[in-house]
Structure 1
């Protein structure tokens, strides 16, 4: 199988505040303004589970359709 990666970027006013990377498995703050949101989302199991399974829902499905 091919290695597939999911990245979700959260941008406000053209500045990336935080992101989720399926290789890391957590939300990571890119600015001080993103720290509270990343901390909150990382403390919520259902939010993390949804983000972690996104690679299977979106990326692998679309990747297989393109190959």
Structure 2
């Protein structure tokens, strides 16, 4: 039971990280800023996601 719960939490964090990276990519910020945010989210998945949610660049809303 614990293993399945941990796997589910891991998948949710992965999905949220991918969503955050896509939003950073679609933002209007400079390339260097985007790279730093993506590295932060990728290297520190939980902490980077929380920091991005508080202070990160947002996407433009266009696909």
Could you say whether these structures have the same fold, taking a TM-score greater than 0.5 normalized by the shorter chain as the test? no
Tell me the TM-score range normalised by the shorter chain: 0.3 to 0.5
TM-score, reference length from structure 1: 0.32
Greater fraction strand: 1
Structure 2 length-normalised TM: 0.33
Structure showing the higher helix proportion among its residues? 2
